[in-house]
Amino acid sequence: MNSSSAGPSSKPRAGSSQPSDSSFKRKRGVFQKDLQHMMYGFGDDANPLPETVALLEDIVVEYVTDLVHKAQETASKRGKLLTEDFLFLMRKDLPKLNRCTELLSMNEELKQARKAFDVDEEKLATME
Amino acid sequence: MKQSKDPFEVAFEESSPPDSPVEEIVGGQIEDEDDANVNVHPTSTPSAAPSSGTTVPPTAKSKDEDEEEEEENMDVELGKLPTSGDPHKMAKMQAILSQFTEEQMSRYESFRRSGFQKANMKKLLVSITGSQKISAPMTIVASGIAKMFVGELVETARMVMTERKETGPIRPCHIREAYRRLKLEGKVPRRSVSRLFR
């Protein structure tokens, strides 16, 4: 059984035995560009310090990791991890909860709109 | 979870040519947020917790409402689809937005348009859970939560800076202090299990 490929990178492949929270193979600066814009939007300087961005990235990754682990704890009874598990975790933090429900409903609306648009396109195509 | 009037579809049918919504949908994943006009009706989404029933401290609620109003009016501002939000709130937002200086406007634009790349967030979630089954809504929710968390950190760091009477770009020590304060407030999830083995 040759294990393959020299695939790109250091990213873990699906199903491979990776300890779920070590992520030492994570590249640095994955969120760097996004974080810079975000920090400016939230009140930092137009050019935030690189060490601040790096620290924020570490904090965010740790935050998401802990969040997912907690969600998995509630999801373990059900078996599958669902979006509702995240919403349950946010039950105490109302601004975040409202934002999540808003994002989810916007996503639904966009999906409906896209579907409607595809249907219209088909109609046009068949008409001509 | 049909809302009583679907503002996006109404606008879609009435005035906008077929091209523009598509461009906006296909073009930028970040832009998608600005396209759809959402009246947040907590009761209409099945997955939403009944947030309408809980009591909210007034300051937190008004801040949250402002964020939502800004979304609706940002769309009007950018000349996209018309909103059917509360006209008073819309008018207020319009009044505020029209008086922004250039610097404020660019900062606001960064605030609205910035976000985590869905692909990167999905990779991170996959690596954490070890499974491939991360649905798109899950990525969206995780990105939204993470963005708000960054916002809390940065704003708290700025508060720390004003307390210490410092200026300039935010330094790591401020972020660490902000993180410590958020932990005390309980806004950072902590794994309680590991404490058993200390």
Would you call A3 exposed, middle or buried from its count of C-beta atoms within 10 A (0-12, 13-18, 19+)? exposed
Residue B115 falls within a domain, yes or no?
no
State residue B146 phi and psi, 5-degree precision. -65, -40
- Angle of CA points B110, B122, A48, to nearest 5°: 30
Tell me the two tokens of residue B63.
């801040």
- Interface subset of A 86-105, CB within 8 angstroms of B: 86-105
ipTM beyond cut 0.90: no
Place of tokens 């606008």: B11
What whole-number distance in Å separates Cα of residue B197 and Cα of residue B195?
Answer: 5
* pLDDT tens figures, A7-47: 444 444 444 444 444 445 667 788 999 999 999 999 999 99
The chain A residue lying nearest B44, using CA atoms, is: A105
Residue B10 lies in a domain: no
Q: Which of A2-16, A89-103, A109-123 holds the top average pLDDT?
A: A89-103
Would residue B99 count as lying in a domain?
Answer: no
* B chain contacts of residue A86, beta-carbon cutoff 8 Å: 138, 141-142, 145
Residue B51 is assigned to a structural domain of this protein: no
In a domain, B90, yes or no: no
Residue B160: CATH number of its domain:
1.10.20.10
Q: What is the pLDDT of residues B10-47, one digit of tens each?
A: 444 444 444 444 434 443 344 444 444 443 333 343 44
Residue B27: the pLDDT is 39
How many independent structural domains does chain B possess?
1
Closest CA to B3 of B46, B54, B34, B33: B46
Structural domain boundaries, residue B145: 135-188
Nearest CA in chain B to A45: B169
Q: Please write the tens of the pLDDT for every residue from B153-163.
A: 999 999 999 99
Domain annotation covers residue B152: yes
- Would you state the pLDDT for residue A26? 63
**Given a cut of 70, is residue B148 above it in pLDDT?**
yes
Per-position b or e across A98-123, b if 16+ CB within 10 A of its CB: bbbbbbbbbbbbbebbeeeeeeeeee
Write down the pLDDT at residue A9: 45
Q: Which of residues 158-197 of B touch A (CB under 8 A)?
A: 158, 168-172, 175-176, 179, 186-191
Segment B73-87 shows an average pLDDT of 45
Q: Is the residue at B157 inside a domain? A: yes
